[in-house]
A and B are shown apart, each in its own frame.
Chain A
Amino acid sequence: MTAAAGSLIGEDALVFALRELYARTGYRQYQMSKFEEYDLYARNRDFLPSEQIITFTDTTGKLMALKPDVTISIIKNIRDVPDTLQRLYYDERVYRVSASGGSFQELRQLGLECIGALDDYALSEVLMLAAASLRQLGVPAVLEVSQLDIVGALLAAAGLDYDGRAAAERAVGGKNLHELSALLEEHGTDREAADTLLALLGAPGTPEAVFRLLETSPERLIDKSAAAQLRALIAGLPEELSGMIRIDFSLTGNRRYYNGVIFQGYIQGVPSRVLSGGQYDRMMERMGRRSLACGFAVYVDLLERLFRDGEEYDFDVALLYGEGDAVGDIHAAAEDLRRSGRSVYVARTLPGALRFREITEIGGAKRNG
């Protein structure tokens, strides 16, 4: 972390460091309005994590929405230039219903998008930045990676009907191998495809183990170019980042929007994914764009647990003054303490709800915090 970041605390320091990381890698900041026309989201509702959107009518009578998502806005607002690469990062607030289905929340989301002539190098750079973002958090982390085309090919080969396929996709996402196995047994027509799918989903997630399994699987069932791409992307990662990669084919995404490589990041101590991303060429196509695209978001609000640790005190020093102390002396004593880099809370009496590392009275008497 840089000296500038070091002088910030918690969330701001992290965001500063990540923004610096993205800027150093050639990404420029993209800023956008808080509002978009509601219609943009209404047309792509199932791309959003929550279907509920805060809307209002603006002064011209248009129905507007407070942004529930950043990616859709970026796709809509940037020029479609498929033969070059646009690298963008953002640090924005989005408005969504909380996961527990309660009320709307304002959430800080930091992320990046790589749009245009996306090749394997650009994809690998996005994956590298996702892993580096997790590493920046300073706690054990795992980046789960999947390739949707590999699982898609196996599900197609298994010969399930429409209903069976939908149920099988749900079972894949829940690592629900017992139900998946029963479904494939009951509705599937290709036993070999079923066995290969179950073996891949049940494999330990180390890249070596998964690639070994992919190599020994029946050739007709494996999407060779997808497997080769996945191998190349992971092999391209620096050694200090590749250790956090797990391949997990239970990771699924809405295939109307996502294709190819998708990933999710977890860190120890936070009970849900803190980063998610992937390739979304299909979403680009749905919005009439010719560019290819990949990106990810870091859910900064979920990292709150990390920032809470170590914040044992609200302020370094409580400086207590008495009735006889002159205003100028109080200011001087407080400034004196602040010059040593400590935070100082000046009061006549101690507030019950705050905690201090040290309590000092004007004149120098000290008490324990």
Chain B
Amino acid sequence: MDKELNIALPKGRLGEQAYALLRDAGLECPALNDPGRRLIFTNREKGVNYFWVKPSDVAIYVERGAADLGIAGKDILNEYAPNVYELQDLGIGRCRMAVAAPEGFRDDRRVPLKVATKFVRCARRHYAAKGRDIDIIHLNGSVEIAPILGLSDVIVDIVETGTTLRENRLAVIEEVFPISARLIANKASYQFKEERIVRLTAALAARKGENA
């Protein structure tokens, strides 16, 4: 698979959207239309292999060289800071990392702010830049209920439409950073497959320009 491109796609809707972009950029793989339970798909003619992996694992597959390229959200890249190249903003999967709090929340700066989140490093960096003391509570899911149950004062989480927040009587009080899907590359693979990777990046940029 030396000259083939190995691409890790995040399972789910974002991965499907990303594949559509890659297909339109010339890397189609018809086998992906009939996935079944398989996780690896090859198109020898186009010299490409696709893998479906858990979205939070894409960066690891790429950093460790199991995939040359991958599609990862900016949330994952900011949280894990993998040692990869971030070549292109694909403009899909747009949402934002935000701080949300119960309606009527007032920050009492005399005590550390209790912050519940799945994104510990992002939250820590955000508040460190503001010089605000925090007490981080690492949760793996259902972060929205933490303030309702008194576990935390605020949450730092991904907000797409805001519906889940509203349903739990929370509101965004601050945006941390915008999120979208990015094309990432393994640094060693880039050295040996530069021409193909550069061509693909340019094709994706051109399509993004057309759709802008």
Contacts and interface: CB of A to CB of B under 8 A. Distances in A.
A246 B187 CA distance: 13
A220 to B, nearest CB: 29
Contacts of B64: 271
A178 B66 CA distance: 25
A272 B65 contact: yes
Contacts of A142: 191-192
A271 B86 contact: no
B39 interface: no
Nearest to A272: B188
Contacts, number: 48
Contacts of B192: 140, 142, 266, 268
B86 A175 contact: yes
Contacts of A204: 194, 198
A178 B194 contact: no
A8 interface: no
Overall SS of chain A's interface: loop
A107 to B, nearest CB: 17
Overall SS of chain B's interface: mixed
Contacts of B89: 178-179
Contact of A273 (B66, B86, B188): B188
A272 B187 contact: yes
A10 B64 CA distance: 23
B87 interface: yes
A144 interface: yes
Given A178-B88, A178-B89, A204-B194, A272 B83 contact: yes
Interface string B180-212: 000001111111101000100000000000000
Given A175-B87, A272-B83, A266 B194 contact: no
Contact of B86 (A140, A144, A176): A176
A271 B85 contact: no
A205 interface: yes
Given A266-B192, A270-B188, A271-B188, 12 more contacts: A99-B83, A140-B192, A174-B84, A174-B86, A175-B185, A176-B86, A178-B88, A179-B86, A205-B194, A268-B192, A272-B187, A272-B188
30 contacts: A99-B83, A142-B191, A142-B192, A144-B191, A174-B85, A174-B86, A175-B86, A175-B185, A177-B87, A178-B89, A179-B89, A204-B194, A204-B198, A246-B191, A250-B85, A266-B187, A266-B188, A266-B191, A270-B65, A270-B188, A271-B63, A271-B64, A271-B65, A271-B66, A271-B186, A271-B188, A271-B189, A272-B187, A272-B188, A273-B188
